[in-house]
Amino acid sequence: MQRDIFMFSNGTVKRKDNTIYLISEVDDKKRPLPIEQIENLHLFGEVNLNTTFLNYMGQKEVFIHCYNYYGFYTGSFVPRDQKVSGIVTVRQSEHYLNNEKRMILARAFVKAAAFHMIRFNRKKNNMHSEFVKEIMTLQKQIAQASDVQQLMGIEGMMRQHYYRTLNEMILPEFYFTERTKRPPRDPFNALISFGNTLMYTTVLSEMYKTQLNPTVSYLHEPSQKRFSLSLDIAEIFKPLFVDPLIVSLVNTKKIQPKHFEDHEGMVYLNEEGKKLFIAAFDKKLTDSIKHRQLKRNVTYRYFIRLECYKLIKHVIGDVSYKPLQAWW
């Protein structure tokens, strides 16, 4: 079974024959990496790579995701697209260029996000919150949004209220006043940013196993500098997967204030904190739920891929897209 490998050590990664090694900068020891078992390689340390290694990763279809010292995502090495489909790309583009078709998909992403925001509050017995009531009021406005800018405004206001509901669920030492991204100004914001980053790369990796073009998006504007469709799909899974995980980690004190550092007002997880978070994130991806249509257990990771398949069926005119709304 393939899995994600997370590397924090500084050093050099090289290939020799059919084996790859991490040569540590600290002790100069060679540590073999199980290439046949790697699906994604996440590099958090300062790692030197050569073209022989990258060619081998491309051949084995291993994705490499890079993060800077503070844990912020900087970019990915993506193997040559093996599942490219001209017709899917053309149909995706048609749905972007036609405002009515684009809005159908953009609204679907926001509706699913709102559903999971409310669902999480229901599970935490927090439906009495005034902020939840505000989310539910805004939720009714999604269908009336006539363009993406208006829809993004609704989504932004919902998310502001939603973050305030999270404050009602967590221990006092993690209270935060507002969502700050660039940079995060407190530990809870640092957790949200780090969790969203991991979700983004997870969605991207699953998307590349399908015929979707990750640069053609609907809620977020396509960009030359990012895989914006990953941001669209991640909206569904952040309140379903990332935020419940964060709340659980802080309330069970698996993540504590000691796991953060502050650099000139920017707060980020230290190495121990990153490792704890990643271990929990990776484990939750393997949790499975009985799928009502497939009649078998499906992991959270595979739910993400299923969302990609549903989008493909929608743009080619097979089945209308219905975003995931968790029933469990």
Q: Specify binding-site residues for Mn(2+).
A: 155, 220, 235
Closest CA to 116 of 142, 135, 89, 98: 135
Closest CA to 262 of 252, 253, 273: 273
- Residue numbers belonging to the annotated binding site: 155, 220, 235
Handedness of CA 196, 202, 204, 210 (dihedral sign): negative
DSSP per-residue codes, 272-314? HHHHHHHHHHHHHHT-EEE-TTT-SEEEHHHHHHHHHHHHHHH
User: How far is it, in rounded angstroms, from Cα 218 to Cα 231?
Assistant: 10
Q: Which residues in 90-101 are b (16+ Cβ under 10 Å) and which e?
A: ebbeebbeeeeb
| H helix or E strand, kind and range, residue 41 | strand 38-43
